[in-house]
Amino acid sequence: MRLIIYEDETFDNFYPLTYLRAIFELRCGATTLAEKLRRVAPDAPVAYFAREALAPVLRERLGAPVNDPASLQGDDLLLVNGRLLLLDASQLPAEGADEALVCNGAVVGARVGRAAAEAAAANSPAELLAALGAAAPTREVEGILLSYMWELIHHNPAAIVADFKAAGKAGIVGTFSDHATVWGSKKQVYIAPTAEVHPFVCIDTKGGPVTVDEGAVVHPHSRIEGPCYIGRGSIIVGGKIREGCSIGPVCRVGGEVEESIIHGYSNKYHDGFLGHAYVCEWVNLGALTTNSDLKNDYSTVQVYLKGELVDTGDTKVGSFIGDHTKTSIGTILNTGTVVGVMCNVMASGGVTPKFIPSFVMFMDNKAYNIAFRNTLDTARKAMSRRKRVLSDAEAALLEAALKLTKPERDELVRRSRKMLARERGLND
C-alpha cells in the first residue's frame, strides 16, 4: 500500500503560513499534520501532491515523490487530505475495502485498490477522487478538517497531548539538575537523552505533558507548563512558557509565551508576550515585541483573510507571522494581526495595523518596498547562523511569493505614499 498526502484548494485560507510550505507541513502539537497522517501507515511509502510552485522545495525537504502521477499507479492507495488533523491514527484504518473517507460531510480521501487506480489513470488525487464518483461507499473519519489558520492554535493543546501519547516516551533520561523540579506527575514529562534542564527550572505537568526533545536546553529561572513541546536543539532562556505551546527545532525563546506555535528556526529571545500566535521559520522578534490576543471588550477577533476581515469566532487570537519576517524592539502587534513573508516591522509608537503584506518595510505607520535582492541576502545571513543554506529552489519560491503578493503590497504602499504626501504638505 502507498500513502498519498495531498493539498486541496483551501491553501490560501492559511496564508501567510503556506506561502512557502504545503498545508500538510504546518505544525500542530509536536509534529506536522503530515507526520500525524504517516502514523496511519508507518511502513508504507509516501508520495505528496501540492501546488506546482512548491514541488521543487518539497522534493528537497521531504525526499519523496511530489506531484508524480506514477505514484497513483501500481499499488493499493490510501489518499488523505493534508489538512486533516488526526489526533489518533486509529481514527483512520489503513486497510479495508475501496471507499471514500468523509469528515463532517466533506470528502477527505479514499482507499483505492490497485485495479481501480489503474483503471482511473488519474494524474492527481482530485482526478482519482472524481473517478470514484458519488456512488462509492463512504466511511466517516473522526478527525478534524482544518479550514483556517487560527484553528491550528485552537487545537494545539490537544495535539500536544495526542503526540505525547503516540510517542510513548516518558521519564527523565537527559540531564536534569537536582535544583530543578517537576510540579506534578513525572509520568507526564519526557526529558530526552541529550536534553538539559538547568537549576531553578519548574516543569509543571498538572495541566498536561511536557517534552524537552533532543539537544534542547532549558536555562535557569524558566517555567514550562504542560501541555508543551520544546523541540530539538531549542533553547529556553528565562522563559515563562505557559500551557499549549509548541516550539519547533532550533528556536531561541524567552519572555512569556502562551498557546502559540513557533514553527522552527525562529527567535523570541527577549522579554515580551506572544500569545495564541503562529510564527513561521527564520523569524526574529525583537526585544519587547508583544502581541495582543484579547480585545478589551472580550468580543470575537477578526483576522484579515484574502482581502477582508473574517470573524474567527474565538475571543483569543494573536498574530500570524510569515517566514523571514523581523520586528524591531518595542513592536506592538494588534489583536489578530497578520504579517506576511520577509517583512521588516519597525515600532511606530502604537499598535500595528491588522494586516501587513509580504516584502515590505513597515515604519512610522507606513509601508515601503524592500529590494528583493536585499531580502535574499538577509535570509542567507540568518540561515548561515544556523548552518543552513538557502537553496536555489527556496530562492525561486520566495520570488514566486513576491509576485503573488504584489497587488496587496502595491495597494498599501500607494496609500502610504498618499499619507506621506499629506504630512509633508501640512509641514510645509
Q: Cα(309)–Cα(117) distance, rounded to whole angstroms?
A: 42
Task: Give the predicted TM-score (pTM) of the model.
Answer: 0.96
pLDDT at 428 over 60: no
Question: Mean pLDDT of all residues in the chain?
Answer: 95
Q: Give the model confidence (pLDDT) of 366-387 as tens digits.
A: 899 999 999 999 999 999 999 9
The domains located in the chain, with CATH, are: 2-147 (3.90.550.30), 151-427 (2.160.10.10)
Q: Cα(384)–Cα(104) distance, rounded to whole angstroms?
A: 44
Q: Cα(383)–Cα(361) distance, rounded to whole angstroms?
A: 20
Q: Cα(428)–Cα(426) distance, rounded to whole angstroms?
A: 5
Compute the average pLDDT of residues 288-314: 96
pLDDT at 419: 87
User: For strand 84-85 and strand 144-145, is the pairing parallel, antiparallel, or unpaired?
Assistant: antiparallel
Q: Cα(398)–Cα(359) distance, rounded to whole angstroms?
A: 10
Compute the average pLDDT of residues 3-18: 97
Q: Give the model confidence (pLDDT) of 187-224 as tens digits.
A: 999 999 999 999 999 999 999 999 999 999 999 999 99
Length of the chain: 428
| DSSP codes, 75-104 | S-EEEEETTEE-S-GGGS-SSSSSEEEEET
pLDDT at 97: 87
Of 347, 348, 344, nearest to 357 by C-alpha is: 344
Q: Give the model confidence (pLDDT) of 100-134 as tens digits.
A: 999 988 999 999 999 999 999 999 999 999 998 87
Judged by phi (left if over 0) then psi (alpha if -120 to 50, else beta), residue 184 lies in left
In sequence order, the 6+-apart residues with CB closer than 8 A to the CB of 64 are: 45, 46, 47, 48
